[in-house]
Chains A and B, each alone.
Chain A
Amino acid sequence: MKSFVRLTLAGMARSCVRGHRSALSLPMLLLFFSATLCFAANPVLIGSKKFTESYVLGEIAKRTLNETGIPAEHRQGMGGTIILWEALRGGQIDVYPEYTGTIAQEILKTERQLSVQEIRDALTKFGVGMTEPLGFNNTYALVMRRNEAQRLGIRTIGDLGKHPELKIGLTHEFLDRRDGWQPLRQRYSLPQLNIVGIDHALGYAALAKGSIDVKDAYSTDAKIAENDLVALADSFDFFPKYDAVFLFRTSLRDDAIGALRGVAGTLDEARMVRLNAEAERTKNYTKAANLYFQNAAGSAVTAGESFWQKLVRWTLRHLELAGFSLLLSIITGIPLGILASRGGAIGNMILGFAGVMQTVPSLALLALLVPLPFFGISVRTAITALFLYGLLPIVRNTASGLQDIPRSLRESAIALGLTPAARLWQIYLPMASRSILSGIKTSAVINVGTATLAALIGAGGYGEPILSGLNLNDHVTILEGAIPAALLALIVQWSFDLLDRVLIPKGLRL
């Protein structure tokens, strides 16, 4: 589990370009999928990034549209900037909340500070429109413990220069960003060498315990107040402005665009901090978003799912991901293994390909598939990645199981006069069945484990509570996903042990 956590942390840091402490509550994916099938009218699809504020903004957009009588669905926590941007351009979503600084830096790739109008003009050629700023600027900040800052007399980022002994823990993303640590350090001529890369959520714990003294944060982060931290003043205006906006496809229906524009200017920083805090406290984004509509007449409709309902939903999705990908791995893996068992250039190529597939880290595989036309942010992508991942054990075990059949027995089958097809089906495959099944079992167990990563691209499953818990630094939530995932792996293992008795011919089990 530990290694998974590490992987996930690294992956999150990279995939969420504005990687806040996110909180992935319960993407209503199943709901979403059934909804897309059932609803005659196409709902407006709203995406959000994998952090609390984005979720809340997504919920606000959804309810805003709903209240105008426009059906809308919210696909929560789909990933980072690039994933959302590609999904928007590809038409997989219609709307998502974004920040002007991120648009300039990450999407338009410019170093310059752009005005809202400049950004809007630049987006037009992508078929994307932008609302006016919603009202708050969520920029980067460096934060410290309040008492520590007072004791050392640090008020601004520049003051850090006087205390080179301070330990700085930064998210990997902040370390890498073009408006991140390196240029900041140059701008303020900071001497600090003692820098560690740490996950955003874990960073707050490290800060509280004193294992680091300074970390990066976001100005509307509810944790700042909650942990009695203080944000250091950016006296040189180093950090660009990150005004929150909604991006939408210009092809979106006019009444929907109009409704979204209505949100502009209604959310100031204090209000956003309050909504974020509410979301973190209740772990219910819908509820937090409802605070925004407090003065309106509408009432909260979405009732929270019970744990057991969630568990059923996660389990079904997890089984779908792991099961379907396993089926594909079997259907293609066994024939490939048969080809590979014949050796030669083709055999080596097949084994080489399957081997390479497995050395690609599963996160990277997911990330590589997302921008491809057919894939994007979907269950399809997760299943494809898992399928490629599960291929090697099956291909290799099929090939080696067949190659291990003694030559004398192969020759006996030939000498009997059996046709090649009959030799394969009646002799070779049954004799290799133990090896093939053990390959399938390995693949199944790997898939059950790896499928937890599918939540990173919003495909759901047990990864959902794990990610959510990770971002909230909430161990109970992590265990809600981790324990069922481990149990499922065990059950899969046992089921295959039972299956062995049915599928492996008795003569081979003596």
Chain B
Amino acid sequence: MSALVQLLAVAKRYADAPALHPTDLSIERGKTTVLIGPSGCGKSTLLRVIIGLIPPDSGTIDFDASQITPVNIEMLRRRIGYVIQEGGLFPHLTARANILLMARHLGKSDEEMHARLLELCELTRFPENLLARYPLELSGGQRQRVSLMRALMLSPELLLLDEPLGALDPLVRASLQKDLKEIFARLCQTALLVTHDLAEAAYFGDDIVLMNEGRVVQQGSITDLRERPANPFVSEFINAQRSVALA
């Protein structure tokens, strides 16, 4: 089976500092690919290049075997869900309006939208009676569930998550991690998740991509990374995270 997303020699510079060296990456269908690495390693840049928030300086990105261009990116975005750290919910819209925003824009019928909404509430374990609330009236974990529902509303082929659990306290985070993993499994969702937490990466990742200073350092399972590090940075990164966990 071919990859859903294929990056070929994608590179990006900011001013005089390269944010992303020419990078190849493929995201396989039905799998969760995790991008991990220290701050500023280029993992968020990579994600944002895929959804067209940042135009790459060079290289090509194929989505479902067709190349992403400035012309088709708007249509392709409707096939991609995007969840960010703080949820990115629009404060002037209720949870329901946030979730339905794009479906309404596309003129979906009320029945269709309502059915999908109930489905998503059930899927993300979000109480229906909170749908009328505004983002500011929801807890951090609830906001992330709403954000996830918004991203999943149009049944996207690809889900991009940029540190979706980064701002949550540990208990909420653990429960949401578990739910997320179940959701991915139930939907056979192709997902690309950015995190800086190795344990989280190991928990989700069928495929872990470790990045440093704008390059992919190693790609593989957590076992690969742990037992067959490609270079000293990999061991260092893994050991640093492990010692934090033990401390």
Instruction: Pick the contact of A409: B48, B52, B90 (CB < 8 A).
Output: B90
Stretch at the interface among A195-203, A257-265, A410-418, A476-484: A410-418
Interface presence of B53 (CB below 8 A): yes
- Using known A-B contacts A415-B77, A416-B102, determine if residue A431 contacts B90 with beta carbons closer than 8 Å: yes
Interface presence of B224 (CB below 8 A): no
**Chain A residues in 8 Å Cβ range of B85:** 408
**Chain A residues in 8 Å Cβ range of B94:** 507
**Chain A residues in 8 Å Cβ range of B150:** 416
Give B78's nearest chain A residue, CB to CB: A417
Instruction: Pick the contact of B137: A418, A427, A510 (CB < 8 A).
Output: A510
**Chain A residues in 8 Å Cβ range of B75:** 417
**Chain A residues in 8 Å Cβ range of B74:** 417, 419
Q: How far is the CB of A91 from chain B (nearest CB, A)?
A: 53
Complex Cα spacing A422 to B106, Å: 11
Interface presence of A343 (CB below 8 A): no
Complex Cα spacing A315 to B122, Å: 60
**Chain A residues in 8 Å Cβ range of B92:** 430-431, 433, 505-508
What per-residue 1/0 map shows which CB atoms of B144-167 lie under 8 Å from chain A? Answer: 000000100000000010000000
Interface presence of B184 (CB below 8 A): no
Q: How far is the CB of A389 from chain B (nearest CB, A)?
A: 31
Complex Cα spacing A433 to B160, Å: 30
- Using known A-B contacts A431-B92, A507-B94, determine if residue A415 contacts B82 with beta carbons closer than 8 Å: yes
| Contact between A408 and B105, CB atoms less than 8 A apart | no
Q: How far is the CB of B17 from chain A (nearest CB, A)?
A: 19
- Using known A-B contacts A408-B88, A416-B82, A416-B101, determine if residue A507 contacts B93 with beta carbons closer than 8 Å: yes
**Chain B residues in 8 Å Cβ range of A510:** 134, 136-137
| Contact between B105 and A427, CB atoms less than 8 A apart | no
Which residues of A471-510 have CB atoms within 8 Å of chain B's CB atoms?
A: 505-508, 510
- Using known A-B contacts A409-B90, A427-B90, A508-B91, determine if residue A417 contacts B77 with beta carbons closer than 8 Å: yes
Interface presence of A426 (CB below 8 A): yes
Give A427's nearest chain B residue, CB to CB: B90
| Contact between B53 and A411, CB atoms less than 8 A apart | yes
Q: How far is the CB of B105 from chain A (nearest CB, A)?
A: 6
Give A510's nearest chain B residue, CB to CB: B136
**Chain B residues in 8 Å Cβ range of A507:** 90-94, 134-136
Give the number of residues in B that approach A within 8 Å (Cβ atoms): 29
| Contact between A422 and B91, CB atoms less than 8 A apart | no
Complex Cα spacing A433 to B91, Å: 12
Complex Cα spacing A426 to B93, Å: 9
Complex Cα spacing A323 to B48, Å: 46
| Contact between A417 and B102, CB atoms less than 8 A apart | yes
Complex Cα spacing A507 to B75, Å: 29
Interface presence of B4 (CB below 8 A): no
Complex Cα spacing A505 to B85, Å: 24
Complex Cα spacing A415 to B52, Å: 8
**Chain A residues in 8 Å Cβ range of B105:** 418-419, 422, 426
Interface size class of A (residues with CB under 8 A): 20 to 34
Give B76's nearest chain A residue, CB to CB: A417
Of the candidates B74, B78, B80, B88, the one having the most CB atoms from chain A within 10 angstroms of its own CB is B88
Complex Cα spacing A426 to B88, Å: 15
What per-residue 1/0 map shows which CB atoms of B22-43 lie under 8 Å from chain A? Answer: 0000000000000000000000
- Using known A-B contacts A417-B75, A418-B102, determine if residue A412 contacts B88 with beta carbons closer than 8 Å: yes
Q: How far is the CB of B137 from chain A (nearest CB, A)?
A: 6
Q: How far is the CB of A380 from chain B (nearest CB, A)?
A: 38
| Contact between B101 and A411, CB atoms less than 8 A apart | no
- Using known A-B contacts A414-B53, A417-B74, A418-B105, determine if residue A506 contacts B134 with beta carbons closer than 8 Å: yes
Give A416's nearest chain B residue, CB to CB: B102
| Contact between A431 and B78, CB atoms less than 8 A apart | no
Interface presence of B51 (CB below 8 A): yes
Instruction: Pick the contact of B88: A411, A418, A430, A431 (CB < 8 A).
Output: A411
| Contact between A409 and B137, CB atoms less than 8 A apart | no
Which residues of B77-113 have CB atoms within 8 Å of chain A's CB atoms?
A: 77-78, 80, 82, 84-86, 88-94, 101-102, 105
Complex Cα spacing A83 to B88, Å: 59
Instruction: Pick the contact of B101: A419, A426, A433, A508 (CB < 8 A).
Output: A426
- Using known A-B contacts A418-B105, A426-B101, A506-B134, determine if residue A413 contacts B53 with beta carbons closer than 8 Å: no
Of the candidates B48, B89, B134, the one having the most CB atoms from chain A within 10 angstroms of its own CB is B134
Complex Cα spacing A506 to B95, Å: 13
Other CB < 8 Å A-B pairs besides A408-B88, A418-B101, 14 of them?
A408-B84, A409-B88, A411-B88, A412-B84, A414-B52, A417-B77, A419-B74, A426-B101, A505-B92, A506-B92, A507-B92, A507-B93, A510-B134, A510-B137
User: Across chains A and B, which 8 residue pairs bring their CB atoms closest together, nearest first?
Assistant: A412-B88, A505-B92, A417-B77, A507-B134, A415-B82, A417-B78, A507-B92, A510-B136
Residues on B lying within 8 angstroms of A by beta carbon are 48, 51-53, 74-75, 77-78, 80, 82, 84-86, 88-94, 101-102, 105, 134-137, 150, 160
Can you spell out 8 A-B residue pairs with CB atoms less than 8 angstroms apart? Answer: A408-B84, A411-B84, A412-B84, A416-B150, A417-B78, A422-B105, A431-B92, A433-B92
Residues on A lying within 8 angstroms of B by beta carbon are 408-409, 411-419, 422, 426-427, 430-431, 433, 505-508, 510
